[in-house]
Structure 1
């Protein structure tokens, strides 16, 4: 079973909280309004359970995925309900853009938003772990969360673990719920846990003893 201690769990939450805070600042600059993100909640699930968490039926979500390699390998995906992703795009490109033009820009805009959120989170981990993680170009997908996470193709007992972060993105007139998923195989999970232990040992020397 893949288990984190309470200290490791709290450390990961704090690390990702720094990352989503940086993402909120970057998005604030883009939309010209204050954007805040809640402290993320963190859960480890298999792909099937993770796929049911955001939308338990066939409701489509907008997912932006990137692959990262370096000190550990992971596939990172940020997901919002499809209607909420359109809200985010409108905030990014402005209400003055005609709807027919907005649909042509939506994937590019969502790719940029996902790239900002994911790179801020992953970049924070890399920086604080003093490691290098290299990311691929973002890929945008509209499908059910189960399809995006590959839950339908997962084999029971052999599915990689999914680290799910629940985030609330809030502006003056909008509140948008989303998830960030990190798909980790056993080796990547163990490496992530080792990196967390190393960070804790540097931050709190007694924790490494």
Structure 2
């Protein structure tokens, strides 16, 4: 597996934090209170390791809500935003208010979570595209519920795919929710991403 050096890792972490900062501003408008989002860590894992990480974060093999979009251009990836299923309902409740009955809330979950996924994933990918000066186009969001393994395999990605995992802290005044964004990459896409990061660093350092 290709490993990023410290400079590449820090650059990618900074870019993703810019992206989720844009997403937080959009989310603040929707929930009508300040939303703070950050990416405290990123890691490169194989699919089994990524599934295990999600299961441990959900305190066991509970169901995960995932919103995926396929992107292609400067590099190709399947991007998936994931929250434990109980947390996804909590986020939807924040979006629509306390007055909506639970049965109606459940019916709205797919549409609301797809909107959130679209905001967060496009903010991350859009920031990458802008900073790299490249085109990246995405599909419409797809909604999935299942185990972490089922969510990560829904895209049809091979078992040996590399997963770039972003840990996302989603903080509101009275809530703190932890989620993940996974970028599923094959070796070619991973190499393309590394090349784009190197170009960005060279430009930033004036070389």
| TM-score interval for Structure 1 and Structure 2 normalised by the shorter chain | over 0.9
Deviation digits for residues 158-204 of structure 1 (CA, Å, limit 9, x no counterpart): 61100000011000111000000000000000000000011111111
Q: Is the 8 A contact 2:39 2:166 kept in 1?
A: no
TM-score (norm 2): 0.94
Q: Work out the CA distance in 1 between the residues paired with 2:3 and 2:104.
A: 47
Say whether the 8 Å CA contact 1:16–1:40 is kept in structure 2: no
- Structure 1 residue runs of 4 or more that deviate by more than 6 Å after TM superposition: none
1:83 aligned residue: 86
Instruction: Give the distance between the partners of 2:202 and 2:157, measured in 1 at CA.
Output: 36
How does 1:1-209 map onto structure 2 within 5 Å? 1-56=1-56, 57-150=60-153, 159-206=160-207
Displacement, 1:98?
A: 1.7
Q: Distance in 1 between matches of 2:39 and 2:184?
A: 20
Q: CA RMSD in A?
A: 1.5
SS in 1 for 2:39: coil
Other structure's SS at 1:40 match? strand
Matches of 2:40 and 2:117, distance apart in 1? 16
Q: Distance in 2 between matches of 1:125 and 1:51?
A: 25
> Any stretches of 5+ residues in structure 2 without a counterpart?
none
TM-score, length-normalised on structure 1?
0.93
The gaps in structure 1 that reach 5 residues or longer are none
State the aligned residue count. 203
